[in-house]
Structure 1
Amino acid sequence: MANQFEDQYHRKFYYLRLSITDVCNFKCTYCLPDGYQPAERKKPSFLTLDEIRRVTSAFAACGTTKVRITGGEPSLRRDFTDIIRTVAEQPGIRKVATTTNGYRMAKQVKDWRDAGLTHLNVSVDSLDPKMFYQITGENLFHQVMDGIDAAFDAGFEQVKINTVLLKDLNSQQLPQFLAWIKDRPIQLRFIELMQTGEMDSLFQRHHVSGVSIRNHLIANGWLLKARANNDGPAQVFCHPDYRGEIGLIMPYEKDFCQSCNRLRVSSLGKLHLCLFGDHGVELRDLLTQDSQQAALIDRIQSGLQEKAVSHFLDDGNTGMTPHLASIGG
């Protein structure tokens, strides 16, 4: 194995979030309220299967054990199942995850599982079909629910559900969510709304801290679980009376970045050191041939020395990210 990827603050990186498209077919209020808007200029194409293999192989050679395939909506790629298989075949990669809006899962999730997908996150922002439509712009609640059932039928032992906390919309639905996971092996993750370049007014209206949920959980006998070194940033709570778990992702909390263990590569081949960073590091010119791996690793390691100690979100600095679909959330 090459040297472990490490930054100047001695944080090690076990987790790659790899975007394969920035296209999405939902119109979530907090991400793409007007739907996906392709740039008028001719965009470069998204990473090819070979480029995905090369970048994943380089990360695996430097200690990465988990890859999350993201978008936009990653299942919009026709070769999505092949991408899963390619990532899963890289030596050293033990977890292959994806984050999806779930609309294709009922038909395809078994194929994803067979190709090597080990972990699955589905975005579900409300258990009320009308509010689901209000938040996502799509009347597909029941199809997504069918997809979650299909995931369990396909052999997934746990499904993670991502719910963006929105004040005055879904923030009052904790009782319904808790009832839903009582007898289901679902890890429900409440994600605080994050401010991005295009979302200032929505952030002001709908941001709510996850602290009140955490206080409620602790007061009702929920216990904090320990984190593995390739886990994401969620604080995960379990309860002896529940099959499901609750995760909280609170990027505005002090020291949130202290345990950062993940890097991002965009669908156009740029390394992003932080979701809210100010620039990306170009990798694509080093993804054309297998023989370039040493140079690729050197460039990633060199770029890592520029990784800041924090995202500075609490200072109102949102970086250059226009919306979460642009580099895969």
Structure 2
Amino acid sequence: MLIDTYGRKINYLRISVTDRCDLRCTYCIPKGFSEFEKPKHWLSFDEIERVVRQFAAMGTTHFRLTGGEPLLRKNIVELVHRLKRIDGVNDLSLSTNATQLAHYADDLYKAGLDRLNVSLDSLSQKGIQQISGYDAKQKILEGLEAAKEAGFKNIKINMVLLEGVNEDQIDNMVVFCMKNHFILRLIELMPMGETARKHHYINLQSVIKNIQYKYNLQPSKKTHGAGPARYWESLDGTFYLGYITPLSQHFCQTCNRIRMAVDGTLYMCLGDEHHFALAPILKSCASDEQLRQTIREAINLKPEQHDFIEKPLKIVRNMAKTGG
């Protein structure tokens, strides 16, 4: 088992397969940004598979494919198929904006993908265009419908709340998720890079209380994956509301995850600039044991907690660079 210097078990690896995206969400990718990683620096599927095998051998059980938009990575279904057949990979999920999901949902399900998270910050055409830069509503809804038809259950809808932008969409999103049996997760915006800091985050504590009261929700013991969300549920158990509060009520003491960028860079914390480059050892003649030892050394760089509150200007990289 991978255990960091603070005694936390690391059992969750999030893997970015591309930093490219077909949307330009205002808190994720700066307007006019073009400094994407060159494809020649991306880890190959063989390299990603090797990394996952070593993490799985050390007790990591949960893996998530992210981006950018992971469905833009060519042959992504093949990667899902390969990773799901690794011993120890108990849970493989994927985060997507759903614009390409209608084309891939059925194949992803057949390849063994366990779960889907869909980023959707508004249900209005105007809201989606304001946040993402594109009128993508129809594609997103078609993607969600295709995922349901393919057989995916408990699809999570991730809604990042932005002050003055989408607070008025919360009730609509609750009703939408109730109707479609989606799990809604409200997320506080993290100040990742200059583009995210242009927005003001919304403290979720009062928001959750209002929704809990309005829809008669009760605390839930279910976790729905390996992430940090805390959940409420309806009295009949048919609707779940999660909330992720990295600023108003951080969960650093139980953080169980690290991220790997598309070029193989390991980031131990979203709120810290410490990182570790795996690519050099992957492209050398290092043994699997040497690779595992390198991963252990990287884990030791994981800080006790983030500095988003004390040092909001600390993180200069954007979310797409890090991996979702």
TM-score (structure 2 length as normaliser): 0.93
Give the structure 2 partner of residue 37 of structure 1: 34
Deviation at 1:286, TM superposition (A): 2.4
Deviation at 1:283, TM superposition (A): 1.0
Where 1:181 maps in the other structure, the secondary structure is: helix
Do structure 1's residue 63 and structure 2's residue 59 form an aligned pair? yes
Give the structure 2 partner of residue 94 of structure 1: 90
Find 1:163's aligned residue among 141, 159, 174.
159
Give the structure 2 partner of residue 128 of structure 1: 124
Stretch of structure 1 that moved more, 7-16 or 310-319: 310-319
Aligned counterparts of 1:42 and 1:291: Cα–Cα separation in 2: 24
Aligned counterparts of 2:312 and 2:298: Cα–Cα separation in 1: 21
Find 2:204's aligned residue among 191, 196, 210.
210
Q: Is the 8 A contact 1:21 1:73 kept in 2?
A: yes
Give the structure 2 partner of residue 142 of structure 1: 138
Deviation at 1:70, TM superposition (A): 0.5
Return closer, same or farther for 1:44/1:320 CA change in 2, 3 Å cut-off. farther
Deviation at 1:199, TM superposition (A): 2.8
Where 2:14 maps in the other structure, the secondary structure is: strand
Return closer, same or farther for 1:50/1:37 CA change in 2, 3 Å cut-off. same
**Deviations 1:211-248 (CA, angstroms, capped at 9, x unpaired):** 12211133343122236596101111111256331111
**Structure 1: unaligned runs, 5 residues or longer:** none
> Could you tell me which amino acid in structure 1 is paired with residue 303 of structure 2?
A
Return closer, same or farther for 1:29/1:229 CA change in 2, 3 Å cut-off. closer
Stretch of structure 1 that moved more, 284-293 or 166-175: 284-293
Return closer, same or farther for 1:181/1:230 CA change in 2, 3 Å cut-off. closer
Aligned counterparts of 1:169 and 1:190: Cα–Cα separation in 2: 14
Deviation at 1:145, TM superposition (A): 0.6
Find 2:5's aligned residue among 3, 8, 17.
8
Query: Considering only aligned residues, what root-mean-square deviation do their CA atoms show, in Å?
Result: 2.1
Do structure 1's residue 238 and structure 2's residue 233 form an aligned pair? yes
Q: Is the 8 A contact 1:197 1:321 kept in 2?
A: yes
Q: Is the 8 A contact 2:274 2:301 kept in 1?
A: no
Q: Is the 8 A contact 2:122 2:166 kept in 1?
A: yes
Find 1:23's aligned residue among 12, 20, 24.
20
Do structure 1's residue 294 and structure 2's residue 289 form an aligned pair? yes
Do structure 1's residue 76 and structure 2's residue 78 form an aligned pair? no
Deviation at 1:168, TM superposition (A): 1.4
Aligned counterparts of 2:5 and 2:28: Cα–Cα separation in 1: 32
Find 2:243's aligned residue among 242, 248, 259.
248
TM-score (structure 1 length as normaliser): 0.92
**Structure 2: unaligned runs, 5 residues or longer:** none
Aligned counterparts of 2:182 and 2:294: Cα–Cα separation in 1: 39
Q: Is the 8 A contact 1:54 1:290 kept in 2?
A: no
Deviation at 1:288, TM superposition (A): 3.7
Find 2:261's aligned residue among 247, 266, 282.
266
**Deviations 1:154-180 (CA, angstroms, capped at 9, x unpaired):** 011111111110111111222211211
Give the structure 2 partner of residue 173 of structure 1: 169
Stretch of structure 1 that moved more, 193-202 or 48-57: 193-202
The total of aligned residue pairs comes to 323
Deviation at 1:291, TM superposition (A): 6.3
Give the structure 2 partner of residue 279 of structure 1: 274
**Deviations 1:178-204 (CA, angstroms, capped at 9, x unpaired):** 21122322111111111122136513x
Return closer, same or farther for 1:286/1:194 CA change in 2, 3 Å cut-off. same
Aligned counterparts of 2:19 and 2:196: Cα–Cα separation in 1: 21
Give the percent of matched residue pairs that are identical in Structure 1 and Structure 2.
Answer: 34
Deviation at 1:306, TM superposition (A): 2.2
Aligned counterparts of 1:15 and 1:190: Cα–Cα separation in 2: 21
Give the structure 1 partner of residue 322 of structure 2: 327
Aligned counterparts of 1:318 and 1:58: Cα–Cα separation in 2: 34
Give the structure 2 partner of residue 184 of structure 1: 180
Return closer, same or farther for 1:254/1:160 CA change in 2, 3 Å cut-off. closer
Aligned counterparts of 2:75 and 2:285: Cα–Cα separation in 1: 21
Q: Is the 8 A contact 1:65 1:230 kept in 2?
A: no
